[in-house]
Amino acid sequence: AQTVTQSQPEMSVQEAETVTLSCTYDTSENNYYLFWYKQPPSRQMILVIRQEAYKQQNATENRFSVNFQKAAKSFSLKISDSQLGDTAMYFCAFIPPNSNSGYALNFGKGTSLLVTP
Amino acid sequence: EAQVTQNPRYLITVTGKKLTVTCSQNMNHEYMSWYRQDPGLGLRQIYYSMNVEVTDKGDVPEGYKVSRKEKRNFPLILESPSPNQTSLYFCASSLRDTDPYNEQFFGPGTRLTVL
């Protein structure tokens, strides 16, 4: 079974600072897909960034970037220049290739991020 | 506007009273699925559908049914709801069933309480 672990239940960062959210996963597959989703207080699930495991280059989307360490099975999310609107629950998720579960997103338990003025 | 819609957004019901949560997408997506979100557990898949008339169980299917008679709709049916089905439910869809890299678009969620 594939599992996703987010070891930080809650984090806090000041506006304009940088914060890194941790995610580790367990799989025996060589290729797979990793995602970070954001869930603000509105509860809407919003895709932040995604990475395909065979691509060595770390994905970047504006202020959001990942540090993908395949050997360590680590997929951390870095948020630069944090803004108040980044306050949300962040979920790391994993999809194995050729999934028998219909490409279900396997989610971690989430990290609650609070951005303070 | 491209979106996934769910109805109702909030529902309080009693044990044993059948209910249906509707899900509809206007993006012509083949793949649709249902997740439930519980505190401390993240999101877990209930059922999914690769295309019309093709559905299968996810990780936590007990107590739920689905159908996919049309491409755009994927209702979640609770024949006899129980309190342990109190949860936040999300419907999601994506463009191609064979490309898991495609973004899965989520609906706004349905908060269900079973008394």
Q: pLDDT (tens digit, 9 = 90+) per residue, B33-82? A: 999 999 888 899 999 998 899 999 998 999 999 999 999 999 999 999 99
Q: Where are the alpha helices (DSSP H) in A35-112?
A: none
Q: Which residues of A touch B (CB under 8 A)?
A: 4, 33, 42-47, 50, 52, 91, 95, 97, 99, 101-105, 107-110
Burial class (CB in 10 A: 0-12, 13-18, 19+), A44: middle
The mean pLDDT of A23-50, rounded to a whole number, is 92
What integer pLDDT is reported at residue A23 of this predicted model?
97
Asked if B28 contacts B9 with a C-beta cutoff of 8 angstroms, the reply is no
Q: From the CA of A50, how many Å to the nearest CA of chain B?
A: 8
Residue where the block lists tokens 């949860």: B87
Query: For residue range B11-31, what is the model confidence (pLDDT) as tens digits?
Result: 999 999 999 999 999 999 999
